[in-house]
Amino acid sequence: MSDIFPKWTNQLPLMAGVAAVVLGTSVTAGIWYYLTPKYSRVGYQPKQPVAFSHAIHSDQLGLDCRYCHNAVDKSWFSNIPAASTCMNCHSAVAKDSPKLELVRQSYNTGKPIPWVQIHKTPDYVYFNHSVHVSRGISCVHCHGQINKMDEVSHAQPLSMSFCLDCHRNPADKIRPNEFVTQLDWQGQVDGKKLVTDWKVQPGQSCSTCHR
């Protein structure tokens, strides 16, 4: 038999075992990574340099999202407000609070507050906020009930299937534009009529989001 099979074939069972372990570990790790919040970011809630409560500002005080994020209906991205926006109110309200020291420093020096980004998509994904906001897609659908959050957390997976669910059935999510930033709005609307009237035709091809 030794004349028929070379000696290295004696190692085949060991090599096959090692390969099976490596492959199994890789598959398990891949599934574990892509099916957990580490990948989808759902539940991600970093500590921010300044404690800002959307529950107070948006829910209790009734500030419109666009007061702070004033480019969200004009640009592809939703801007983070400058310290000057905060100081429009806080030059008088809680103006000496130690919690706002970093805001005052930013306002006086022009150095941005190092906010930690929470919501983001991969670099190969193109998303335009203004297109969605100006066609009746409320912030709440992607960001969750952010007006109830003291600390913002990542509420939705923002995965391809998540986006396609809406692109395939926009009538289920669309609402009149005047209610886009009213995150608690529960009114009745003929979504199909709005889709027709506004000529909403969300693409489903790869090039719609991958550019």
Q: What is the dihedral of CA 143, 148, 153, 158, to 10 degrees?
A: -20
Predicted model pTM = 0.78
* Residue 39, amino acid: Y
The dihedrals phi and psi of 21, each to the nearest 5 degrees, come to -65, -45
3-state secondary structure at position 137: strand
| Structure tokens belonging to residue 92 | 């008088």
Burial class (CB within 10 angstroms; exposed 0-12, middle 13-18, buried 19+) of 191? middle
Q: Give exposure, 60-86, as e/b (b: 16+ Cβ within 10 Å).
A: eeebebbebbbebbeeeebeebebebb
In the block, residue with structure tokens 């004009």 = 74
Q: What is the pLDDT along the chain (211 residues), one digit of tens a residue?
A: 456 767 776 777 777 777 788 887 777 766 665 556 556 788 999 999 999 999 999 999 999 999 999 999 999 999 999 999 999 999 999 999 999 999 999 999 999 999 999 998 888 899 999 999 999 999 999 999 999 999 999 999 998 999 999 999 999 999 999 999 999 999 999 999 999 999 999 999 999 999 8
In the block, residue with structure tokens 């926009």 = 170
- Containing 185, the helix (H) or strand (E) segment is none
